[in-house]
Structure 1
Amino acid sequence: MHHILSGLAANPALSSELVDRLISIADEDLATELARRADLSRAQAVALAGRIDASAVHLAYEGRLTAADIDPSIRPDAALALLDQGVERPEWARLLAADPVRERREKLAACPGLPSDVVDTLATDPDVRVVAELALWTTPDVAARLAAHPHAQVRRAVASNEATPPAALAALVTGEGLPAARRCLVCDREETPFLHDPQCPRPDCDLRPGASCDGSHESTVHDIRQAALHNPATPVEALLGFVDHPSMLLRWALAGRPDLPPQACTRLASDPVPGIRADLAENPAIDDHLIRALAHDPDSIVRRGLAHHPRVPLDVLTRLAATTRISGALLPRIAAASVAEVEELAMSPDPAARTLVAQRRDLPTEIRDRLADDPDAKVLKALAPHPGLTDAQLRAMVDRHGVRVLAKVATNPDALPALLEDLVRHEPAVQKVFREVARHRGATAAALLVCLADERARPVAARHPALPPSVVAELLTDADRQVAKAAAANPSLPPAVMLELVCRQ
């Protein structure tokens, strides 16, 4: 029965009176569903927070609770949620900075706009995890100060903070101008030299696999450099020495930087790791010469990466589409194509080029209609979800290509109810069609009843408001709990049934 009540709690048609009843009996799971309701009143939010502490955090983040509704000594986690959103309550911050629960001080350290005295307190917290969290989110001046912290884990957090001044980031990479770190998480816990076994059997051990320290904190120093390489605020000049570094992870982090100079790009283009070359292939820093060279890379992951480059020439992109399996998502270069380029692609004799442009959802009417008559099924699969296609055009696609385009036609927002009914009865059937029709806003009761026969579409169809109320009520006893929960959340569930379900409790 609990899954039914969870569904009811999410039902948009549930009356305010029944919401009150559910609040009065809510446990944490039910409170989670109730806290998500868009129509929850302030009084109901306060009542729910008073019953279940965990829901107060969600309600605070959603703006349903204000500072006036929260006592930080009673609901510190909800108070932290408001501080995290920038609510100025310095007295709360001072109280929570002394909280005995480390996780709360850690959460506080990530909050914006903390008073300077609270920042100073957190910067000297006895738990290095709290200081590291502060270092990750703090202001430039504090980050620069923490770059010289004696614990390497704090320095790693500073290296990830995009507010850290460039000079401090460069010093973290090179070590120049900073005193040597004295501790790391490894030597805090183990006698050095120590290398953490990747198959460590200790259930309470949280050191990462391969963490090591011989007194130089080498695994954390590596992590500091990797974080700095990923940080766009780190001056690229301080990083160029890593182009040929033995660490694959450091070279990989460098490959995605958009400020790479041409020489570094050229060297990374011959890296033996395909993933590094693939990230480089997407990097806007590479020039046309390197783009064309990478188009002939023997590894398909590199060519797929190049297809996502924002400036890849259309002739290169078309060849890639013809020879490499590229996802069906709209590519950046196609999204940015000019009107003339769209026309050129749509008129191309190459179906790969026409498929690329058919992914756009803002095609001029004449181009969309021309592509709707395309003889190639891949072009029509890409085009079928485009809004504005007529019923005749969608049916013609199905008539010409059947199961190859059926599921994509079912996703078209303008597909008429009669067409959706025909799609779910198509022979041979396509299983994905049932799921697409079950979530389509235009699906009729007749189409949804067919979808209920499909195991994967059944929970989706059970929630559709076009399903007859009597059928929705029957589904409350379905053997599949997900189906029953979806039916309870269906706004077409009769109010009398909702009342009966709540009153059983």
Structure 2
Amino acid sequence: MAWVFARRKQQPPLPDEALIRLMTDLLDPPDDVPFANYELFEELFFADWSRVLVAVRHPDPRVRRFAASHAWRDDLRFLLTDPDPQVAAAAAASIAEQDRLMEPADLPGQHCHAFWWVLQRPLSQALAEQVAASDDVEAIQYIINNPTLPPDIVEMLSHHPEAGVRARVAGRADLIAERVAALAADPDPAVRAVVATRTGLTGEQIDALAADPDDAVRTAIATHAYVSEGERAILAGEADLDPQEAVRWARSENPRLRRRAAQRPELPSDTVALLAADPDAAVRANLALYHPGAPGELLLSCFLENRDRTKLLSLPQFPESGLSRLADHADPVVRLLVARDPDADPAVIAHLTTDPHQSVRKAMARCPRLPSDRITALLNDAELAADAAANPSLDWRTVVEAL
């Protein structure tokens, strides 16, 4: 059920009008649906929590009652004055429940919706100690993000044997200075790399991390420590990057600034050439994706690096000529590009109709540069007949005569 309600990648959210109709239908599901209405609403909300914001304004008070048991505290205030007394009472009860400290008895015995829901709530000392002392690393990492985690548990987890746990602790904004200093000297580079992304590091800590033997740590400190407050605001999306400032950023030693600069579509040609040869792969990828003047070869190289392939192929400057040289590439997705080459040797296209990968065979069967005799032959191939029949170069007169 969660799979049915889930929002797919790159799929826009359902419009509010559609959600309202869906929620109305869920109130009284058909008899052959093996779920109660409250279970359907739980799955609907769990798949996308923003849907609760639609539910709290639904015209049917029964839907608003379901929303009252799922919405966060700030959204529930809207329901405290609901004209339906049952909705208002449910909202008040939900706020009181959300303020209640979670105890060990509240935590289900296995991972489920309710398990993670409890660990997001205010944690009692007893429950925090229980989770922290368990072998459930996933749950431990989860509670580290909880702002109500007691300081002594944060301190204890900063010494946890799992580096992933210590790294999660290193990302907490409320760490005391002594704990930051200890984590900055952690034996695991993954922990030190997280510390290197923090603000407020001392000069000595910055210098030590900049000289770290691990490349990821040095990169992290270089891309986060040497950034002004104004630059941080731009990187966080709180302010816009001026075109002239973008040119300066494109020449910065900080790859974070260069990555952001590469997203500006109005960069001059000399700056585009500079960024196209940038040693940082993310800089080159951003330029390829966002700048209309990015060289076609740059787009192809980013494609070969398996970066945003679908979007790159949709760009008008993606190259076509010369792609047949990729006919022997190990990646079948790359071999598919040969069909886009207007100058591809027909013999190469014909050879790829026997490619080990089905998607390549089918693409070549539809390619208009496939030799006519091979197209006709594929009409008798059970797998590729439909693709060959869709080939725009198919000579139907010859086929009809043969029949």
TM-score by length of 2: 0.52
Of 167, 175, 188, the residue aligned with 1:273 is 188
Question: For the Cα contact (< 8 Å) 1:444–1:466, is it kept in 2?
Answer: no
Residue 294 of structure 1 and its aligned partner are, at CA, apart by 1.5
Residue 68 of structure 1 and its aligned partner are, at CA, apart by 7.6
Kindly provide the amino acid, as one letter, of the partner of residue 273 in structure 1: D
Instruction: Specify the alignment match of 1:372 in structure 2.
Output: 273
Question: For the Cα contact (< 8 Å) 2:235–2:260, is it kept in 1?
Answer: no
Q: Is 2:148 the counterpart of 1:234?
A: yes
For 1:259, what is the secondary structure of its paired residue? coil
For 2:186, what is the secondary structure of its paired residue? coil
Residue 362 of structure 1 and its aligned partner are, at CA, apart by 1.9
Instruction: Specify the alignment match of 1:459 in structure 2.
Output: 359
Q: Is 2:269 the counterpart of 1:362?
A: no
Kindly provide the amino acid, as one letter, of the partner of residue 164 in structure 1: R
Of 392, 417, 424, the residue aligned with 2:323 is 424
In the alignment, the residues of structure 1 paired with residue 35 and residue 226 of structure 2 have an alpha-carbon distance, to the nearest angstrom, of 52
1:76/1:306 CA distance change after superposition, 3 Å: farther
For 2:196, what is the secondary structure of its paired residue? helix
Q: RCO higher in 1 or 2 (8 Å CA, sep ≥ 6)?
A: 1
1:243/1:289 CA distance change after superposition, 3 Å: farther
Question: For the Cα contact (< 8 Å) 2:119–2:143, is it kept in 1?
Answer: no
In the alignment, the residues of structure 2 paired with residue 472 and residue 66 of structure 1 have an alpha-carbon distance, to the nearest angstrom, of 52
Question: For the Cα contact (< 8 Å) 1:90–1:114, is it kept in 2?
Answer: no
Of 75, 97, 107, the residue aligned with 2:33 is 75
Of 333, 347, 361, the residue aligned with 1:435 is 333
Instruction: Specify the alignment match of 1:245 in structure 2.
Output: 159
Question: Which stretch of the first structure deviates more once superposed, 271-280 or 149-158?
Answer: 149-158
Q: Is 2:131 the counterpart of 1:173?
A: no
Residue 276 of structure 1 and its aligned partner are, at CA, apart by 1.7
Kindly provide the amino acid, as one letter, of the partner of residue 167 in structure 2: W
Instruction: Specify the alignment match of 1:313 in structure 2.
Output: 226
Residue 335 of structure 1 and its aligned partner are, at CA, apart by 11
Kindly provide the amino acid, as one letter, of the partner of residue 155 in structure 2: G
Residue 429 of structure 1 and its aligned partner are, at CA, apart by 6.6
Residue 298 of structure 1 and its aligned partner are, at CA, apart by 1.1
In the alignment, the residues of structure 1 paired with residue 259 and residue 98 of structure 2 have an alpha-carbon distance, to the nearest angstrom, of 49
1:252-267 to structure 2, matched below 5 A, reads 252-267=167-182
Of 43, 53, 56, the residue aligned with 1:84 is 43
Question: For the Cα contact (< 8 Å) 1:435–1:456, is it kept in 2?
Answer: no
In the alignment, the residues of structure 1 paired with residue 341 and residue 248 of structure 2 have an alpha-carbon distance, to the nearest angstrom, of 40
Structure 2 unaligned regions, length at least 5? 9-17, 46-54, 71-93, 229-233, 393-403
% identity of equivalent residues: 18
Instruction: Give CA deviations for 1:125-147 in whole Å, capped at 9, x if unaligned.
Output: xxxxxxxxxxxxx9761683651
TM-score by length of 1: 0.44
In the alignment, the residues of structure 2 paired with residue 423 and residue 140 of structure 1 have an alpha-carbon distance, to the nearest angstrom, of 67
For 1:85, what is the secondary structure of its paired residue? helix
Question: For the Cα contact (< 8 Å) 1:261–1:285, is it kept in 2?
Answer: no
Question: For the Cα contact (< 8 Å) 2:250–2:275, is it kept in 1?
Answer: no
Kindly provide the amino acid, as one letter, of the partner of residue 247 in structure 2: E
In the alignment, the residues of structure 1 paired with residue 218 and residue 186 of structure 2 have an alpha-carbon distance, to the nearest angstrom, of 15
1:333/1:153 CA distance change after superposition, 3 Å: same
Residue 424 of structure 1 and its aligned partner are, at CA, apart by 0.8
Residue 472 of structure 1 and its aligned partner are, at CA, apart by 12
1:77/1:302 CA distance change after superposition, 3 Å: farther
Residue 268 of structure 1 and its aligned partner are, at CA, apart by 0.5
Size of the aligned set, in residue pairs, is: 316
In the alignment, the residues of structure 2 paired with residue 389 and residue 265 of structure 1 have an alpha-carbon distance, to the nearest angstrom, of 44
1:27-426 to structure 2, matched below 5 A, reads 66-67=25-26, 70-71=29-30, 73-77=31-35, 80-85=39-44, 113-114=68-69, 141=97, 144=100, 146-149=102-105, 153=109, 161=118, 163-165=120-122, 168-174=123-129, 219=134, 226-231=141-146, 233-235=147-149, 237-242=151-156, 245-248=159-162, 250-284=165-199, 286=201, 290-306=205-221, 311-313=224-226, 338-339=241-242, 341-347=245-251, 356-357=258-259, 360-366=262-268, 368-372=269-273, 376=277, 378=279, 382=285, 383-389=287-293, 393-394=295-296, 407=304, 411=312, 413-415=314-316, 419-420=319-320, 422-426=321-325
Instruction: Give CA deviations for 1:240-260 in whole Å, capped at 9, x if unaligned.
Output: 422653533543331121332
In the alignment, the residues of structure 2 paired with residue 334 and residue 456 of structure 1 have an alpha-carbon distance, to the nearest angstrom, of 46
Kindly provide the amino acid, as one letter, of the partner of residue 312 in structure 1: A
Structure 1 unaligned regions, length at least 5? 1-31, 37-58, 93-110, 116-137, 176-183, 185-216, 316-330, 495-505
In the alignment, the residues of structure 1 paired with residue 44 and residue 345 of structure 2 have an alpha-carbon distance, to the nearest angstrom, of 42
Question: For the Cα contact (< 8 Å) 1:281–1:302, is it kept in 2?
Answer: yes
Kindly provide the amino acid, as one letter, of the partner of residue 370 in structure 1: T
1:261/1:285 CA distance change after superposition, 3 Å: farther
In the alignment, the residues of structure 1 paired with residue 216 and residue 33 of structure 2 have an alpha-carbon distance, to the nearest angstrom, of 50
1:465/1:361 CA distance change after superposition, 3 Å: farther
In the alignment, the residues of structure 1 paired with residue 256 and residue 380 of structure 2 have an alpha-carbon distance, to the nearest angstrom, of 47
